[in-house]
A and B are shown apart, each in its own frame.
Chain A
């Protein structure tokens, strides 16, 4: 497991961006990732503007990563502390990432709106899960605007929920991603 995690981190940090090579690799100009946990007793919502990513439009390869510590907007500072220390263990697993390949065969140099699916590895809390994530893409003047909604099951990523907070933390977390990519 540790090996896989290390490999994935390594891939996200070095290999994939390195592998993009020369020309048509777009990078994030701005990226926001928001998650919300809608549990019966409490709605927890937090977001980070530090979403970074790269997208090779010819090879259709992509990689996105976010620093767990950068999430803000919790209901209380204590909640943020719990999030980082108890659940995400951000010291041990400082970032989350999603990297892989676009399934559809689309020419991203042409302006237009596309719904695409990305098949890749989602790394959260040190656990890699293969996922297909559907996203809406708008290509205009060489810029790509990405918006995507998906869910993450805490159990899939070995994030334990103490029984006492069952009513306060949903087992399925909704994630919303918005990013602008430019050359």
Chain B
């Protein structure tokens, strides 16, 4: 026998010892807000467009990132005010209403009081709304409803026909009307040609109660109405009809504080009886354990991952998994530690085995699961039930280890063993699967296809079957047989890879097709018709008909020790392993996780039969504390949303409205970012790069990055957040900015300097030239002058006159002297 089979058996025996103490309720988490060791009361919750949660408290406004509260201070840090309402308009502006009646906006991450000329109310602000014309409305507890048109504020109060001045909530109808819940019914307000029109819906019109505590949209112009004493009802704004669901008749659960419609469920927060869920389709009201939420529940909100949040004075902020996770437990019995096989039947019942390998049918009665035990006489403690299957006639097929196959009628509880096939008489059944009228059974002795006929609604009628043996499937050990949407039959073999039966031809996919591990445990098909299968040690594979794609830990899987694959109603591949569930989006390859951080522990990932799916696609797994049921929340985003929370220059926040162009010496930037993922904020990985400095991504768990001494240039900071290091389909936030060069390094300045220098040089040369010319001219003039002087001096008249005065007349000069003079050329010329 192969090693995997041995492991399969040994773990069956070890299971009772594997499970430990009971875990916390999956998906619940508590975040108390404390200041100076005192609990701060949270009055209201709000989610902004990006998905960020805000908590309005007695100590002002807080942002909540999933791990910690961040106080948003007033611009004047000394102010504090009790927040009673929070709202974000379509222009992304946040409005905060206070108990004092004042109103503030968040501007540059600080609260700034809104000071209209008309003043602000003196009574508590209870709600905000933006109408179709983008006018902001706000309601008060005692003054009626205000609306802002242009710069003016108008009041709707009793004088205008408002039935009461205490307004609890506002909602916008499809035709632009504003619905206001008050202490005297619903006021339908509209402004037509500047005139206020109010219609009141009160008990006279069929409203079950006077006091309306909540009005929330329910789609198609209908609204859920929360009431003070009579529960809730549905109001249709088109027909003006009020419907009270049967579940809300004879309401005795006290005041409804808040309503929230999410994932086809209406969540109801009550004043004294905790949280309720009203399943709209099934018209069914269930309570959630008060010990998980507190008796008083106030505000409700759904985050982008589909978690439902509430506030309660006892626990502060509470994260609940909403419809995503449910734990089915039955106090006292049965013992979930011994559950090796589960089956979700078409009528909503759950079938499991217990320690004695009796069959247990769990059925819901008045919101509580009850157990019915069915004894299969042939089975004992030692002959485990390994697999359960429900055929198209709703009969239950039971596979045992060593005692073969049984079929149970779920109504009469009649049991018969499958004796038609001698091979299966005392077989060790590994799996039972099927599609339509085909039922596949694999065992240690071989596999068979049972073809159901019309008569097989009665379990006593004979079944027709076909055997498969190792000559066709490659091995006798088959873990799973899967018929896909194209009626192809896939065999998950123990060691021989995947075998495909198509039109009577067998095709074998194994290590020659790069399947690294031939021990295949489980097979499923995604919505694109691709086949996915899990292996014993090489992760999972996708087969698109041409190629096999392998997903391992490097691709984000939590664990390679995978038992079962299922495809959920949203088309995700659910990967069951002992640490939890990995939810793989086949389109993007991105993976989200449900594990210990949601309080999920001790999943039975050893028994391939311990995972099932109900008719709506919910995946159910067996855990030590009960049956955990999971469904993908509709329209939810199972990846962290990357946000740049603030950008700092020299550790000082940069104002949001400041142009992103900085001086050369403004070059020290810090980016504070987050990846909002309320299901498990601690898991989030980040990778960043600053284009312009370094184009390589850097992976980090830090939520802040500083870049000192940036050179002038254009930069783009990119931050991505992901639940693993693959960053597949990761969300990205971007901040682009420019650091300008110093003016003396800029081209225009350098060119100007060059031009100036050239001009100076040119000017200098010109001046010097002119000066040289002048000097030359002066020198010439001087020479000329000297020449003229000299010439004048040697003018004969002058000379003679000079001589006449200075020297004796020539005739008086002795001849010898004259001869001597004659020897001088100058004189000789003159003479």
Residues of A within 8 A of B (CB): 101, 103-104, 115, 117, 119, 130-134, 149-151
CB of B119 within 8 A of CB of A134, answer yes
List, sorted by A's number, 17 A–B pairs whose CB atoms are closer than 8 Å: A103-B122, A103-B143, A103-B157, A117-B119, A119-B155, A130-B154, A130-B155, A131-B152, A132-B119, A132-B153, A132-B154, A132-B155, A133-B118, A134-B117, A134-B118, A150-B117, A151-B117
In the complex, B159 has a CB within 8 A of chain A: yes
Q: Which residues of A contact B159 (CB under 8 A)?
A: 101, 119
Smallest beta-carbon distance B273→chain A, Å: 34
Residues of B within 8 A of A (CB): 117-119, 121-122, 143, 152-155, 157, 159
For residue B196, which residue of chain A has the nearest CB? A130
For residue B140, which residue of chain A has the nearest CB? A103
For residue A115, which residue of chain B has the nearest CB? B119
Give the complex CA separation of A130 and B152 in angstroms.
10
Give the complex CA separation of A149 and B118 in angstroms.
10
Smallest beta-carbon distance A147→chain B, Å: 14
Chain A binding surface SS class? strand
Q: Which residues of A contact B154 (CB under 8 A)?
A: 130, 132
Give the complex CA separation of A118 and B121 in angstroms.
11
Smallest beta-carbon distance B365→chain A, Å: 54
CB of B117 within 8 A of CB of A103, answer no
Chain B binding surface SS class? loop
Give the complex CA separation of A132 and B159 in angstroms.
14
Q: Which residues of A contact B119 (CB under 8 A)?
A: 115, 117, 132, 134
Q: Which residues of B contact A131 (CB under 8 A)?
A: 118, 152
Smallest beta-carbon distance B156→chain A, Å: 10
Residue in A101, A115, A117, A150 with the greatest tally of chain B CB atoms within 10 Å:
A117
Given contacts A104-B122, A117-B119, could you give 11 more A-B pairs where the C-beta distance is less than 8 Å? A103-B122, A103-B143, A117-B118, A119-B155, A119-B157, A130-B155, A131-B118, A133-B118, A134-B118, A149-B117, A150-B118
Smallest beta-carbon distance B444→chain A, Å: 84
Q: Which residues of A contact B157 (CB under 8 A)?
A: 103, 119
Q: Which residues of B contact A134 (CB under 8 A)?
A: 117-119
For residue B122, which residue of chain A has the nearest CB? A104
Q: Which residues of B contact A130 (CB under 8 A)?
A: 154-155
Residue in A103, A130, A149 with the greatest tally of chain B CB atoms within 10 Å:
A103
For residue A101, which residue of chain B has the nearest CB? B159
Give the complex CA separation of A36 and B643 in angstroms.
48
Q: Which 9 A-B pairs have the closest CB atoms?
A: A134-B119, A132-B118, A119-B155, A117-B119, A104-B122, A132-B153, A132-B155, A134-B118, A130-B154
Give the complex CA separation of A130 and B144 in angstroms.
15
Give the complex CA separation of A132 and B143 in angstroms.
13
Give the complex CA separation of A151 and B155 in angstroms.
17
Give the complex CA separation of A151 and B117 in angstroms.
8
Smallest beta-carbon distance B147→chain A, Å: 11
Smallest beta-carbon distance B482→chain A, Å: 70
Q: Which residues of B contact A117 (CB under 8 A)?
A: 118-119
For residue A119, which residue of chain B has the nearest CB? B155
Q: Which residues of A contact B122 (CB under 8 A)?
A: 103-104
Give the complex CA separation of A130 and B143 in angstroms.
16
Give the complex CA separation of A131 and B143 in angstroms.
15
Smallest beta-carbon distance B155→chain A, Å: 5
Smallest beta-carbon distance A16→chain B, Å: 13
For residue B195, which residue of chain A has the nearest CB? A130
Give the complex CA separation of A133 and B118 in angstroms.
5
* B155 in complex: contacting residue of A103, A115, A149, A150, CB < 8 Å: A103
Q: Which residues of B contact A149 (CB under 8 A)?
A: 117
For residue A130, which residue of chain B has the nearest CB? B154
Q: Which residues of A contact B155 (CB under 8 A)?
A: 103, 119, 130, 132
Give the complex CA separation of A131 and B154 in angstroms.
6
Q: Which residues of B contact A103 (CB under 8 A)?
A: 121-122, 143, 155, 157
Q: Which residues of A contact B118 (CB under 8 A)?
A: 117, 131-134, 150
Smallest beta-carbon distance A174→chain B, Å: 10
Q: Which residues of A contact B117 (CB under 8 A)?
A: 134, 149-151
Q: Which residues of A contact B143 (CB under 8 A)?
A: 103
Smallest beta-carbon distance B783→chain A, Å: 74
For residue A151, which residue of chain B has the nearest CB? B117
Give the complex CA separation of A149 and B115 in angstroms.
14
Smallest beta-carbon distance A97→chain B, Å: 17
Give the complex CA separation of A132 and B157 in angstroms.
12
Q: Which residues of A contact B152 (CB under 8 A)?
A: 131
Smallest beta-carbon distance A128→chain B, Å: 10
Q: Which residues of B contact A133 (CB under 8 A)?
A: 118
Q: Which residues of B contact A104 (CB under 8 A)?
A: 122
Q: Which residues of A contact B153 (CB under 8 A)?
A: 132
Give the complex CA separation of A22 and B225 in angstroms.
45
Smallest beta-carbon distance B140→chain A, Å: 10
Give the complex CA separation of A142 and B122 in angstroms.
24
Residue in A101, A130, A149 with the greatest tally of chain B CB atoms within 10 Å:
A130
Smallest beta-carbon distance A101→chain B, Å: 7
Give the complex CA separation of A132 and B138 in angstroms.
15
Give the complex CA separation of A119 and B158 in angstroms.
12
Smallest beta-carbon distance B164→chain A, Å: 15
Smallest beta-carbon distance A19→chain B, Å: 14
For residue A120, which residue of chain B has the nearest CB? B159
Give the complex CA separation of A30 and B155 in angstroms.
30
Give the complex CA separation of A117 and B154 in angstroms.
12
Smallest beta-carbon distance B160→chain A, Å: 9
Smallest beta-carbon distance B433→chain A, Å: 71
Give the complex CA separation of A104 and B121 in angstroms.
9
